[in-house]
Each structure stands twice: as structure tokens, then as C-alpha cells.
């Protein structure tokens, strides 16, 4: 275990040079205070969880103090936002402080979000509000606990500094951890600004640092794109299987590592709804729940376009064509597990689709359905979940097929229930739960955020006294409008 002054830094990205990032010092926020920290994220840096309570911790992650070895940088990138190309975005309010090398030899980027204005701030104030910082903290840590690839969050630091959004709010900073902050939009920036040397330098950096296994391939860049396609196929399968809606799948919010990245107006499904749009600003539903699959493919195509100076178009196309079949295979696998099935049968996809159609018509809670189906022997469990469906005849047909399907599985029903509880969370980050925790934090009470984070860090385990976190949303909590404002 290390203390805060014992972290060891590398600055690989900063060393790429000023074409890739510019040095900017954090602009501190006033009267910093710890809102919440993640012990498991701290462990990635070998930090003792107790150091979160030290004043130095809040000073470091609110811009008041900086390590000597840090080289804070704002990265330049561009990206397709809602389908249209924006030629220059970049870190308008976040800084890459440096890369901590942990005892296992892993590099973890320290990215301080809300650290003040940079040359990429455009009209923005460079700040993040408490509300959105807590949302990113809870969202990324909850996904990680579910086993879904994501950037991580070390902590949120609150302050007395005031910022203006629709109304007056408090500024906060979030310390994000990820092994890389390179986005699809980084490659688009060098492609569209016609800087092939820099594009190649970045490609080589990413290849060497994050896809070393592709270096042996006769066409390393193509092999890397293939790996990126594979990782995204798996990521999106997780999102769909667990009902996660990202909300702003612009190419500047897509990580080159295939992890969930850049949290805005995201949401987990409450009732299953294939057409759900979580981002109140997304009028056309471009980033609706079911569109996430074709949009991820579209985003990968945008990345591939940026690689056309280096790889033949035909080969890029073939790599992109891997996406859909890989996605389908991962999704099917995850959904089989959610249903407690271990062997594959030809009709499994139809079984899943029929279930989702019944859910769609009935307004059935997506998380609790799978959990409850694993609570009891199959017959009894089906009887309990049946109450939530509207088209009972359709549900009964599905039940019949599921019962028969379970009977063809090896092993006993106890095994099915144990398998299901290991993959079906009891607790999910519902928007209304985040909202309640945020409102308490805005009033100065951080205990709700901390408790919610703690519950969500063990989502599959029933926790004593925490029943309130395992309920369907109340009526007011079903229709919260979350916009891009952050």
C-alpha cells in the first residue's frame, strides 16, 4: 500500500508532443471536500483506502496541489456528434494529469474532469457540476461491479465554487481512471486535418502500449482495428444484455480500448423498452437503446475511415464486417446465462426475442425479472413473475418453452438458481436512485451517495437492510429527464 506522495508517474502521452496535447495547469475549486471515493479504484493505484480522508487527497483532486512528476495536459481530438463532424473538440474541461504506474506494472491515466478552462473550452467554463460528477462516479463504478468494461472513478471532490447551468450549481471535480484516454475522435482529428505523420505516431503509440499482440501481425494496424471491433462487439453486447444506455455515442466518446467511456445522460433500463431514449436532448432517438448496436458499427466505420491512409479499404471493410456476428454471439451467450442456460440450442435467440416482446408489451422491470426468475424453483418463479405481464397468453407460451428448455439442461434446478443469481444483479443504478443521492449531496449530505455506491459495488449479493435499493421506481422516478447539461 502506498501513500499519496509515493505514486510513480509516467508521461508517455505527454511525450508524444504538442501536436497531441498542450500543457495546462488545473484551476482549483474552492474549499475542496471529499464527496465519495472508490476503494476498489484506489487499489488500482495501490493506494490505502484510508488516504481518501486526508486533506492532501481532496487538495490533489481539486487542483490545489500537483505531484512534481505530473505533466497535466489537455488532449486534442475531434469527432462525429449526432452524426455530424465537429473538426475540433479536445479536452475542454478535463486534464490528463499523468499516468500512474502501479506495482503490477499497469499504467493508469489520471484524468481530472472539471479542472478549468483549456484551449479547447470553446464557450464552456471548464467546469463540471456536482450532479454530473456523481453520475459519472456511480455509473462507471456500477458498470465495473457488474463486470462490464468501463473507465473507473477514483473520487468526486465537491467545493463551494459556483457555476451556472440552467441554474446556479456547485462545481466539483471527478478523477477518472482509464488505461487510455485515446478516443476514436483522436484518429479522426489527424485524418481530417491531414496530418498523416501524427496519425501514424498515434497509431504506433496505441499499438505498442495497448495492442502489443498485434505488432507481430503482418498488417499490425489492421489487426489492431480487428481487435477494436471485437472489443466493441463484446462491450455493446454487455450494454444490451444488462440494459445500459450510454446516451451520447459520439465518436469522441468512444474509447480505443472498447470500454464504456464518457458518462453523460446515461441510464439503465427500468421497464424493458427497446425504443428507450435516455438523453432528453436526443430528439431523433439516434442513441436509443436498440440503436446502440448499429451506431457502434457506424462509429467503428468512422474510425476505419481515419485509417484509410494506412490500410486498404477492402481489408478495413472486412474487419468491420466482423462486428455484427461477434456482437450477436456475445449477446446470445450473455442472455443464455441470464436465463440460467448452459447448453446452446438453435432456438435460443427466438426464446429471448419472445421474452423481450412480452416484456415490451407489459412494462416489465428488466432487472428484477431475471433476478426473480432465479429466486425459486422454475415453476414457482414463473408464477411470481407472471403477475407483471399484460399479455398473459403470450407469456404462458413463453413459460412453457422456458420450462421445457430448463428440463433439457443438465444438472438440477438449484444449480440454475445459483448460476442466475451470480449474473443477474439485484441492485442496478436506477436514475431515480442516483437522483435521490444527488439531491442529498447537493444539500451537503454525502451519506446517500456513499451508501448507494457501496450497495452497487456488490450488485449480485443481497445486502441486509438495503431492500430500498432493489425496488422498481416510484411513479415520479420513471420519467426523469436527463439532458447533456453537465
Q: Residue 422: which of Mg ion, ligand AMP, none does it interact with, CB under 5 to 8 A by kind?
A: none
User: Which of 284, 250, 243, 279 is closest to 424 using CA atoms?
Assistant: 243
Rule CB under 6 A: is residue 90 a binding residue for ligand AMP?
Answer: yes
Question: Between 86 and 253, whose beta carbon lies closer to Mg ion?
Answer: 253
Backbone angles phi, psi at 266, to 5 degrees: -70, 165
What's the half-sphere exposure (Cβ side, CA atoms, 13 Å) at 172? 27
Shortest Cβ 20–Mg ion spacing (Å): 17
Angle between helix 431-442 and 130-146 (nearest 10): 140
User: Which of 154, 81, 90, 161 is closest to 128 using CA atoms?
Assistant: 161
The residue within the footprint of Mg ion, chosen from 133, 232, 251, 253 (CB under 5 A), is 253
Rule CB under 6 A: is residue 91 a binding residue for ligand AMP?
Answer: yes
Shortest Cβ 146–ligand AMP spacing (Å): 23
Point out which span in 119-127, 190-198, 237-245, 426-434 binds ligand AMP (CB under 6 A). Answer: 119-127
d(CA 17, CA 255): 21
- Concerning whether 125 is annotated as a catalytic residue, the answer is no
The residue within the footprint of ligand AMP, chosen from 11, 54, 65, 121 (CB under 6 A), is 121
The answer to whether the CB of 166 falls within 8 A of the CB of 39 is: no
d(CA 376, CA 425): 15
d(CA 39, CA 227): 31
Query: For the chain, give me the number of helices (H) and strands (E)?
Result: 17, 13
Pairing of strands 79-81, 267-268: unpaired
Shortest Cβ 97–ligand AMP spacing (Å): 16
Rule CB under 6 A: is residue 126 a binding residue for ligand AMP?
Answer: yes
The residue within the footprint of ligand AMP, chosen from 71, 136, 234, 262 (CB under 6 A), is 262
Query: How many residues form the binding site for Mg ion (CB under 5 A)?
Result: 2
Query: How many residues form the binding site for ligand AMP (CB under 6 A)?
Result: 16
Restricting to residues 70-89, which ones interact with ligand AMP according to CB under 6 A?
A: 89
Point out which span in 165-173, 251-259, 277-285, 341-349 binds Mg ion (CB under 5 A). Answer: 251-259
d(CA 306, CA 337): 37
Rule CB under 5 A: is residue 262 a binding residue for Mg ion?
Answer: yes
d(CA 221, CA 307): 8
Identify the active-site residue in 252, 270, 271, 273.
Answer: 252
Question: Between 27 and 204, whose beta carbon lies closer to ligand AMP?
Answer: 27
The residue within the footprint of ligand AMP, chosen from 80, 127, 226, 421 (CB under 6 A), is 127
The residues, ordered by sequence, that sit 6+ positions from 428 with a Cβ below 8 Å of its Cβ are 142, 242, 243, 268, 367, 456, 459
Question: Between 399 and 486, whose beta carbon lies closer to Mg ion?
Answer: 486
Place of cell 443481497: 462
The answer to whether the CB of 454 falls within 8 A of the CB of 151 is: no
Q: Cell triple for residue 482?
A: 436527463
Q: Residue 442: which of ligand AMP, Mg ion, none does it interact with, CB under 5 to 8 A by kind?
A: none
Question: Between 189 and 272, whose beta carbon lies closer to ligand AMP?
Answer: 189
Question: Between 253 and 424, whose beta carbon lies closer to Mg ion?
Answer: 253
Rule CB under 5 A: is residue 188 a binding residue for Mg ion?
Answer: no
Place of cell 444438472: 411
Rule CB under 6 A: is residue 484 a binding residue for ligand AMP?
Answer: yes
Rule CB under 6 A: is residue 111 a binding residue for ligand AMP?
Answer: no
Of all residues in the shown chain, the one whose CB is closest to ligand AMP is: 124
Pairing of strands 168-178, 107-113: antiparallel
From residue 190, alpha-carbon distances to 156, 239, 295 in Å are 33, 30, 22
The answer to whether the CB of 125 falls within 8 A of the CB of 94 is: no
**Stated length of the chain:** 486
Rule CB under 6 A: is residue 253 a binding residue for ligand AMP?
Answer: yes
Shortest Cβ 248–Mg ion spacing (Å): 7
Rule CB under 5 A: is residue 136 a binding residue for Mg ion?
Answer: no
Shortest Cβ 426–Mg ion spacing (Å): 31
Rule CB under 5 A: is residue 279 a binding residue for Mg ion?
Answer: no
Point out which residues bind ligand AMP (CB under 6 A): 89-93, 120-121, 124-127, 248, 253, 262, 264, 484
The residues that are catalytic are: 252
Amino acid at each position: 500500500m502506498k501513500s499519496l506522495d509515493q505514486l510513480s508517474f509516467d508521461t508517455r502521452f505527454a511525450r508524444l508532443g504538442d501536436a497531441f496535447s498542450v500543457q495546462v495547469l488545473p484551476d482549483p475549486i474552492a474549499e475542496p471536500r471529499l464527496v465519495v471515493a472508490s476503494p476498489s479504484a484506489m487499489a488500482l493505484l495501490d493506494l490505502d483506502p484510508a488516504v481518501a480522508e486526508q486533506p492532501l487527497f481532496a487538495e490533489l483532486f481539486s487542483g490545489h496541489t500537483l505531484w512534481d512528476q505530473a505533466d497535466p495536459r489537455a488532449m486534442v481530438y475531434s469527432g462525429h456528434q449526432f452524426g455530424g463532424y465537429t473538426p475540433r473538440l479536445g479536452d475542454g474541461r478535463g486534464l490528463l494529469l499523468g499516468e500512474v504506474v502501479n506495482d503490477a506494472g499497469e499504467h493508469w491515466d489520471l484524468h481530472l474532469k472539471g479542472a478549468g478552462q483549456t484551449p479547447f473550452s470553446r464557450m464552456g467554463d471548464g467546469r463540471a457540476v456536482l450532479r454530473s460528477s456523481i453520475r459519472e462516479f456511480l455509473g462507471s463504478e456500477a458498470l465495473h461491479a457488474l463486470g462490464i468494461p468501463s473507465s473507473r472513478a477514483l473520487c468526486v471532490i465537491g467545493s463551494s465554487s459556483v457555476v451556472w447551468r440552467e441554474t446556479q450549481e456547485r462545481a466539483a471535480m471527478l478523477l477518472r481512471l482509464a488505461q487510455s484516454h485515446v478516443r476514436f475522435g483522436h484518429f479522426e482529428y489527424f485524418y481530417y486535418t491531414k496530418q498523416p505523420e501524427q496519425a501514424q505516431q498515434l497509431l504506433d503509440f496505441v499499438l505498442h502500449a495497448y495492442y502489443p499482440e498485434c505488432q507481430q501481425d503482418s498488417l499490425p494496424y489492421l489487426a489492431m482495428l480487428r481487435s477494436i471491433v471485437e472489443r466493441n462487439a463484446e462491450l455493446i453486447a454487455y450494454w444490451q444484455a444488462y440494459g445500459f444506455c450510454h446516451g451520447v455515442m459520439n465518436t469522441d466518446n468512444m474509447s480505443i480500448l472498447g470500454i464504456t467511456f464518457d458518462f453523460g445522460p446515461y441510464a439503465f433500463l427500468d421497464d424493458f423498452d427497446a425504443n428507450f431514449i435516455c438523453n432528453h436532448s436526443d430528439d431523433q432517438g439516434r442513441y436509443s437503446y436498440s440503436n446502440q448496436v448499429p451506431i457502434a458499427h457506424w462509429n467503428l466505420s468512422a474510425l476505419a475511415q481515419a485509417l484509410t491512409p494506412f490500410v486498404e479499404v477492402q481489408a478495413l471493410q472486412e474487419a468491420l464486417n466482423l462486428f455484427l456476428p461477434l456482437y450477436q454471439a456475445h449477446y446470445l451467450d450473455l442472455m443464455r446465462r441470464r436465463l440460467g442456460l448452459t447448453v446452446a440450442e438453435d432456438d435460443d435467440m427466438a426464446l429471448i426475442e419472445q421474452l423481450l416482446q412480452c416484456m415490451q408489451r407489459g412494462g416489465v422491470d428488466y432487472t428484477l425479472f431475471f433476478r426473480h426468475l432465479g429466486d425459486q424453483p422454475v415453476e414457482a418463479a414463473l408464477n411470481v413473475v407472471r403477475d407483471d405481464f399484460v399479455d398473459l397468453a403470450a407469456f404462458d407460451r413463453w413459460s412453457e418453452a422456458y420450462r421445457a428448455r430448463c428440463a433439457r439442461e443438465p444438472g438440477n434446478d438449484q444449480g440454475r438458481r445459483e448460476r442466475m443469481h451470480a449474473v443477474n444483479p439485484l441492485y442496478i443504478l436506477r436514475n431515480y436512485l442516483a437522483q435521490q443521492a444527488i439531491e442529498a449531496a447537493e444539500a451537503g449530505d454525502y451519506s446517500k451517495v456513499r451508501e448507494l455506491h457501496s450497495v452497487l459495488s456488490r450488485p449480485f449479493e443481497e445486502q441486509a437492510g438495503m431492500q430500498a435499493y432493489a425496488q422498481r421506481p416510484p411513479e415520479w422516478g420513471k420519467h426523469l429527464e436527463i439532458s447533456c447539461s453537465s
